[in-house]
Amino acid sequence: MGILIFLLIGAIAGWLAGTIIKGRGFGVVGNIVVGIVGAVVGGLLFDFLGVRSGGFIGSIITATLGAVILLYGARLLKK
């Protein structure tokens, strides 16, 4: 059951980040990948800043912010 929640959080976070940065998502698999990598980035950033978030909504917020930072950085490198 945990892996399904993990994938769901990744999909939601990836879709939200894609919508914020790009105006649309990346498809189901792309959203999951962006969301999972974003969760790692967001987790490291929140840990560095000493911020704690818990629960389902906190995980989505952390992963979404990390994914937005990831996509923004990728956009800067692409230019």
Domain boundaries, the chain: 2-78
How far is it, in rounded angstroms, from Cα 33 to Cα 55? Answer: 21
Q: How many CB atoms lie within 10 A of CB 21?
A: 17
> What is the pTM (predicted TM-score) of this model?
0.87
- Alpha-helix runs per DSSP H in the chain: 2-21, 28-49, 55-78
pLDDT of residue 60: 92
> So what's the pLDDT on residue 26?
77
pLDDT digits (tens, 9 = 90+) for 18-68: 899 877 777 888 888 888 999 999 989 999 999 888 889 999 999 999 999
Task: Report the pLDDT value the prediction gives residue 69, as an integer from 0 to 100.
Answer: 92
